[in-house]
C-alpha cells in the first residue's frame, strides 16, 4: 500500500471540500462531479477516492446522504450488474437507501422490519433478499434519531416492493466486498468529523485567553489536544489502509482491515469529539455550536454495520482463535 495521496486524489479532496462548503449544492452537483458510485467507476483505488470524499463531507457536516446513496447502494447495484438502475443512480436521477436491521448493526433481513439509513431524498430502500437478489421497497415514516445531519426512515415488514430491474443475485463474496468498502467509508466519515472537531478546538485554544495567555499554552490543555491528535493520525492510517485493502486484497483480508478501521475510527472519533468539548469549554455546550452535531453524527456512524464491540468480536474470531494468526 502507498498511503501518500496522488495529485489526482488531492484535487478530488479539494472539489469535495468545495461542494461540501456550498450550501446551495444539491445531489445533482454531487452526481455531476462523478461522486455517486465513485469507487465503482474509479477502478483500483476507487474506495480510497470515495473515502476521501466521505471524509470531506463529514468534516463539513454535509446533510447529503453520501455514504448510503452515494457509495453503499451504488456498490450493491454494481455487484448485481444492475446496469440500468446503476446508470440512473450515478447520474443522480434515482436514489436508493440501504435498509438495515432496526439496531443498524447489519443489512435488514428480508421480510422483517428495518430502517433505511441515509434516506434523504431516496426513491426507495434496497433490501438483499434471502436468495441474494436486490429488492426495492417503499420507505415509511421518518425515524427520529440522534443525528441531525442524516435521515433515517422506517421500513415496515410488509413494505410494498417497487418494480425495478435490479440484476442478478449477489454472491457471498459480493456482499463481503461491499461490506468492506462501506465499513472503510463509514470509518472515513467518522475520521472527517473528528478531524474537523479537533481542528476547530485547536484554533479555539490558540485564541482563547485566560490568565493573560492563550489557554492552549498550558500543558494540561496541550496534552488533551496532543492525545486527540495522536488518535486522529492513527485513525487516518487505519482508514486509508482499509480503503486501499477494500478493493486490492482478498475478501477476508479486506474485511479484516475494514473492521479494524471501523473499530479504530469509532473509538477515536468519539474520544476526539468529547475531548473537543473539553477544549472548547462552555461554548461547546450551546445548541448553536456545531459540537453536538458532530457528537450526534459520530454516534450514528459508529452504530451502522456494528459499533466497535461488534467489530472486536468479529476480529477476535479471526485473530485470537487458537489456530488463527500469522
Partner 1 sequence: MSDETTVREVLRQRVADFLAAHDPATTERLAFLRARYDAGLAWVFFPEGHGGLGLARDLQPEVDLLFARAGAPGNNVRGNGIGLGMAAPTILAFGTEEQKKRFLRPLWTGEEIWCQLFSEPGAGSDLAGLATRAVRDGDSWVVDGQKVWTSHAHNARFAILVARTNPDVPKHQGLTYFLCDMTDPGVEVRPLRQITGEAEFNEVFLTGVRIPDAHRLGAEGDGWRVANATLNNERVAIGGGSGTRSGGMIGVVSRTWREHPERRTPELHDRLVKLWVEAEVARVTGQRLRQKLRLGQPGPEGSAMKLTFARLNQQLSGLEVELLGEDGLRYSDWTMVRPDGVDFTGRDAGYRYLRAKGNSIEGGTSEILRNIVAERVLGLPPEHRVDKHVPWKELDK
β-strand 124-128 against 96-100: which pairing, if any? parallel
Q: What is the C-alpha to C-alpha distance for residues 170 and 134, in angstroms, rounded to an integer?
A: 8
Other Cβ atoms closer than 10 A to 290: 17
Distance of alpha carbon 42 from alpha carbon 103, whole angstroms: 32
Tell me how far, at minimum, the Cβ of 266 lies from partner 1, in Å: 10
Nearer to partner 1 by Cβ, of 150 and 240: the residue is 240
CA distance 269 to 267: 6
**What is the rounded (10 degree) CA torsion for 103, 105, 111, 114?**
40
Residue (173 or 223) nearer to partner 1, CB:
223
User: Closest approach of Cβ 268 to partner 1, in Å?
Assistant: 8
CB of 181 to partner 1, least distance (A): 18
Which residues touch 49 (CB under 8 Å, ≥6 apart)? 9, 12, 38, 39, 42
Nearest to partner 1 of 95, 236 (CB atom): 236
User: Which residue's CB is nearer to partner 1, number 136 or number 268?
Assistant: 268
CB of 224 vs partner 1, minimal distance in Å: 9
Cell numbers that stand for 254 in this block: 479486506
Considering the complex, what minimum distance in angstroms separates the CB of residue 326 from partner 1? 6
Q: Which is nearer to partner 1, 79 or 205 (CB)?
A: 205
Interatomic CA distance for residues 131 and 129, integer angstroms: 5
CB 47 within 8 A of CB 39: yes
- Residues near partner 1 (CB under 8 A): 1-4, 202, 205-206, 213-214, 216-219, 222-223, 225-227, 229-230, 233-238, 240-241, 260, 263-264, 267, 311-313, 315-316, 319-320, 322-326
Amino acid at each position: 500500500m502507498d498511503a501518500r495521496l496522488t495529485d489526482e486524489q488531492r484535487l478530488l479532496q479539494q472539489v469535495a471540500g468545495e461542494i461540501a462548503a456550498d450550501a446551495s449544492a444539491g445531489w445533482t452537483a454531487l452526481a455531476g462531479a462523478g461522486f455517486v458510485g465513485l469507487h465503482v467507476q474509479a477502478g483500483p483505488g476507487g474506495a480510497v477516492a470515495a473515502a476521501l470524499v466521505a471524509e470531506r463531507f463529514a468534516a463539513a457536516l454535509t446533510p447529503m446522504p453520501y455514504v448510503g446513496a452515494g457509495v453503499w447502494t451504488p456498490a450493491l447495484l454494481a455487484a448485481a450488474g444492475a446496469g440500468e438502475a446503476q446508470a440512473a443512480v450515478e447520474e443522480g436521477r434515482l436514489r436508493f437507501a440501504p435498509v438495515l436491521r432496526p439496531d443498524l448493526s447489519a443489512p435488514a433481513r428480508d421480510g422483517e422490519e428495518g430502517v433505511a439509513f441515509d434516506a434523504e431524498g431516496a426513491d426507495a430502500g434496497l433490501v438483499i433478499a434471502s436468495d441474494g437478489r436486490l429488492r426495492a421497497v417503499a420507505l415509511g415514516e421518518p425515524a427520529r434519531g440522534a443525528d441531525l445531519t442524516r435521515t433515517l426512515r422506517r421500513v415496515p415488514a410488509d413494505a410494498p416492493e417497487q418494480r425495478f430491474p435490479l440484476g442478478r443475485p449477489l454472491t457471498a463474496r459480493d456482499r463481503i466486498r461491499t461490506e468492506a468498502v462501506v465499513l472503510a467509508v463509514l470509518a472515513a466519515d467518522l475520521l472527517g468529523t473528528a478531524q474537523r472537531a479537533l481542528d476547530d478546538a485547536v484554533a479555539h485554544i490558540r485564541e482563547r485567553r485566560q490568565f493573560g495567555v492563550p489557554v492552549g499554552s498550558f500543558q494540561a490543555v496541550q496534552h488533551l489536544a496532543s492525545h486527540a491528535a495522536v488518535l486522529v493520525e492513527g485513525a487516518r492510517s487505519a482508514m486509508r489502509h482499509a480503503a486501499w485493502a477494500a478493493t486490492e486484497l482478498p475478501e477476508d483480508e479486506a474485511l479484516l482491515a475494514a473492521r479494524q478501521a471501523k473499530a479504530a475510527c469509532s473509538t477515536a472519533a468519539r474520544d476526539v469529539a468529547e475531548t473537543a468539548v473539553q477544549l472548547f469549554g462552555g461554548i461547546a455546550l450551546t445548541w448553536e455550536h456545531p459540537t453536538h452535531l458532530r457528537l450526534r453524527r459520530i454516534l450514528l456512524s459508529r452504530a451502522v454495520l456494528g459499533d466497535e464491540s461488534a467489530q472486536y468480536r468479529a476480529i477476535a474470531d479471526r485473530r485470537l482463535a487458537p489456530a488463527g494468526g500469522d
